[in-house]
A and B are shown apart, each in its own frame.
Chain A
Amino acid sequence: MQSFTRHTGTSALLARDNVDTDQIIPKQFLKRIERTGYGDVLFFDWRYDPEGLANPAFALNAPQYSGASFLITGKNFGCGSSREHAVWALRDYGFRAVLGVSFADIFVNNCVRNGLLPVVLSPAEIANLTSRARLDTPLTLTVDLEQGKVSADGGFSASFQLEPFRRMCLLEGLDEIGMTLKHDAEIASFEKDRPAFTHHA
């Protein structure tokens, strides 16, 4: 898994609350059996018109947001379905971090296993970044996970936190399965002590 330590890049703005994973990647793209190749269909129903052309009214199609590696959004981003395809699509498109007021639980779990950093900022800080990202010139940010800092040209600076385990996953790009398998003896001993009626399937 790709790690995240520090990244500088431009930002795109999706100034909405409650962006659900059905919007991030609609169901017709969940039929594939691969982990890659979802970037072109990210936000499909919002991004393209029924003829398949870019919808000029959709934020991500604005020229100043082209090539962005940060997405600035509102609260409860990633709610709804557990589809990891949502995170794969955001990563595939080129996003390295999403900055918002809050995120849904399963979405965050999926993020940290795919090198996508969820950055929780206060409503005032998101409002500040939102107004900067509305301008015609691209907003360049630096996000530093080691320091827990977001900074922008023109004096913006904010701190953020991530739970220690999630932070470690991202900083080190861990093979979580390999890590758990090191506890094989403990798992085996736990299994031996489970009551028989729990082994029913």
Chain B
Amino acid sequence: MTNSLNIHHQDTLERYPDTSFPDIRQDTFSKTTLGFWLYLMTDCLLFATLFITYAVLHIETFDGPSGKDLFIMPTAFTETMILLCSSVTCGMAVLAALRNDTYKVIAWLAVAFALGSAFMVMEWIEFNHLVQAGHDWTQSAFLSSFFTLVGTHGLHVSIGLLWMLVLIIQLFCFGIDVMTFRRLVVFSMFWHFLDLVWIFIFTFVYLMGAI
């Protein structure tokens, strides 16, 4: 019995030579990006629960307005396109960083920042209109879940904008080095992720609300 187990163990050792275990990716860059990816995955679950809350509650309008009455489609479409462009320009910043072109990186990040700010301003105006018209989060379960879902995304984008400012200052001071490149890559992951979440908000909240 012991003998056969031993043989079996040796078989596996031979079939999987010792190149990938222990893990070769032990450097700070790999560990940081993997760690941040883990955070993004948990954030994904957070958004998933908010989406489901919205899915369950969006019919409970308490005789108030529904999504069909409130959502302005062209605004939502413009917001989607702006955030997509911001996501791509952030990718361009990483590509410029591959060529060690600090000023191009800062320029692309500045464009991404401007687009992200435009997105936040549009969302802020939209929220303001709703609240001014008396349709705030206290009116119905539908509006509570709507403001929680879209507001959480907006909060993420706002934090991302602040992060981008800090990153621009760091790039300005230190140029492209191991540290700033790592931070830029991690930020780009965050920014692309937020665009990905917005696709689902656009589809499941705005488009489906309009049908």
Do A and B interact? no
Give residues in B with beta carbon < 8 Å to A: none
Chain A interface residues (CB < 8 Å from chain B): none
